Amino acid sequence: MVIHFDELSPAEPDVEEWEARVEGWVERIRQAEGAETLIESVREWDLAARELSTWAAWALIRYCQDTTDAQASARNARLDALGPPLQALDLRVKRAVLDSPHLPAATAVLGAQAVALWTLDCQTQDESLVQAQVREATLASEYSRLVGSARVEFQGQTLGLPQLMAWLEHADRETRHQAAQALWGWYDSNAPAIGDIYCQLVALRHGMARSLGEPDFVEHGYRLMRRRGFGPDQIAAFRDELRTHVVPVVRSLRRAQSQRLGLPSLKAWDLRVLDLLGNPRPDPSPAVQLDQAVRLFQRLGLDEFFQTVRRSGVMDLEARAGKRPGGFCHFLPQVGLPFVFANMNGTSHDTKVFTHELGHALQVWSSRHAPLMDLIWPTYDAAEVHSMGLELLSWPHMDLFYGAQADRYRRDHLSSAITALPWMAALDEFQHRVYRQPDADHDALWKEIEASWEPDLDWGDLPHGPQGRRWQAVPHLFSTPFYMIDYALAQTCALQLWSLARRDPEQAMERYLALCRIGGEAPFLELMAGAGLRSPFEPGLLAELMSEVREALDALEAL
């Protein structure tokens, strides 16, 4: 039976009732005479926790769909308030498992990855932090509400930010300029409020890390991301590889773009436009794009997956006023369904975001039967390989969306994927420096970092950006610190799948689908090695990939 999203109405959890159940599981684990009782208790807890997780996902999705809806906002406020206390209760179960003398025997059944993740959770969480975590969640939601409720008058219309951003791809340069002024004008007028939210978040996170004995939030933040096998030193070396091998490629791509546009140099409002023909665009109707997507997933041999998602109503794709900007994929574990959220605005970005989020959805749907909820999703670094991988593996089928313009889309897609890498590295460096120096001037810091990573960026007469405030438009900084570099790590792996697909598309798809099915049963580097992919930290890998990227872009340029 197909369950439709609109039929869902999960009950809000009763914290006192849940605490009583948790104490029961904890006591059973402590009194267990063997691993069997421990494992049985964990499985009961995990099954019940799927109900809570489903309510949390549903509440967040409903809020993101309309940040102006009073009922959804109240429910999201409850989620912000209940989330940390519920997490603290779950920690009691995890600590009981980790303290059990039967842990070695139980690990053989539960899996080493689950035990390692719970160890990280216990190192980063403490019941004394609950109130600070509630405040942290509230502030992140406040940022989402602020940008989600934005209204900007432009071209005789009242637009939300995702709708306004579509105008940044207009073929007429002055129209793009005006759209950029309107967009960054909104951020400029809201800069004090956004800056204050971030300052409070930084102070909160620094304080929580210090209360756990950490010198600052950086190592603590890595543990919150559940990273295993690498740390800040490896990430710094990876950023050095990006600076050495990717920044020169990006600068050459920008010069070629400037020449195609017939401009002596690019301004910030020119960056999203390929050439004088304007960017290739899909059909502006999300309904038409969905019909095209049916054929895409048929060609990929994934018809059952996509039809299940479509019939279940677990996609919200069209941009509209009040809807939170951006895109994401969530999971409803109780019903085994992903939820895809996007803001289609009639640009080529629609196809990238759609295939990206459907990559997440395919992965989590493929691994939905994992024995523990913590093993359904991989950690963020690995998860983005599935999303970026599907973006690139869908290339042979872009004729469905773009017809004769498919190669122009591929050029746009590949070049934009590469030009985004320095941006991701800059945001990562920014966060490392912010959390090492929590009292620093964030705008001044960003201005310095942006100039080193994107030296050719010219803001012209736009507001906000020249003041070093471009970072304020990045929701990940508010909700999920240190996430941005995971996109760059994952892109390095996804490009390897793309490279393989150019030679052997069937093998590339086989590896990709196998990676999806494994889910989160191993840490990032082990998952990549299991799929035959090289570590993104391997010296020289980016140099090889950039050489192939240049070759591919030269071929696409000649078409």
Q: What is the 3-state secondary structure (H, E, C) of 78-140?
A: HHHHHHHHHHHHHHHHHHHHHHCCCHHHHHHHHCHHHHHHHHHHHHHCCHHHHHHHHHHHHHH
| 374: pLDDT strictly greater than 70 | yes
Calculate mean pLDDT across residues 299-307: 96
Determine how many CB atoms are found less than 10 A away from the CB of residue 336. 17
Calculate mean pLDDT across residues 366-375: 96
Question: Tokens for 398?
Answer: 């872009």
The pLDDT score that the predictor gives to residue 321 is: 85
- Are residues 120 and 39 in contact, defined by beta-carbon separation less than 8 angstroms? no
Cα 422 to Cα 380: distance, rounded to the nearest angstrom: 19
Q: What is the pLDDT of residues 480-499, one digit of tens each?
A: 999 999 999 999 999 999 99
Cα 10 to Cα 50: distance, rounded to the nearest angstrom: 11
Q: Hey, where are the domains in the chain?
A: 5-139
Query: What residues have CB less than 8 Å from 145, skipping those under 6 apart?
Result: 67, 73
Q: What is the pLDDT of residues 511-525, one digit of tens each?
A: 999 999 999 999 999
CA dihedral 92, 93, 99, 100 (to 10 degrees): 150
Is 0.85 topped by the overall pTM?
yes
| 1: pLDDT strictly greater than 70 | no
The pLDDT score that the predictor gives to residue 559 is: 67
Calculate mean pLDDT across residues 279-302: 92
Question: Tokens for 276?
Answer: 């004088």
The pLDDT score that the predictor gives to residue 436 is: 97
- Are residues 160 and 151 in contact, defined by beta-carbon separation less than 8 angstroms? yes
Q: What is the pLDDT of residues 154-177, one digit of tens each?
A: 999 999 999 999 999 999 999 999
Three-point CA angle 333, 339, 359, nearest 5°: 100
Q: Can you tell me whether residue 329 is helix, strand or coil?
A: strand
Calculate mean pLDDT across residues 524-551: 97
Cα 110 to Cα 116: distance, rounded to the nearest angstrom: 11
| 134: pLDDT strictly greater than 70 | yes
- Of the candidates 307, 478, 501, the one whose C-alpha atom is nearest the C-alpha of residue 390 is 501
Q: What is the 3-state secondary structure (H, E, C) of 6-40?
A: HHCCCCCCCHHHHHHHHHHHHHHHHHCCCHHHHHH
Within the chain, what is the greatest distance between any pair of CA atoms? 77
The pLDDT score that the predictor gives to residue 3 is: 85
The pLDDT score that the predictor gives to residue 285 is: 85
- Are residues 525 and 229 in contact, defined by beta-carbon separation less than 8 angstroms? yes
Cα 190 to Cα 173: distance, rounded to the nearest angstrom: 26
| 2: pLDDT strictly greater than 80 | no
The pLDDT score that the predictor gives to residue 278 is: 86
**What angle do the packed helices 217-224 and 112-124 form, to 10 degrees?**
140
The pLDDT score that the predictor gives to residue 286 is: 81
Query: For the chain, what is the mean pLDDT?
Result: 95
- Phi/psi for 538 (5° steps) reads -70, 120
What is the DSSP code (8-state) at residue 318? E
The pLDDT score that the predictor gives to residue 496 is: 98
Q: Where are the alpha helices (DSSP H) in 246-379?
A: 247-261, 286-299, 303-311, 349-366
Calculate mean pLDDT across residues 20-28: 98
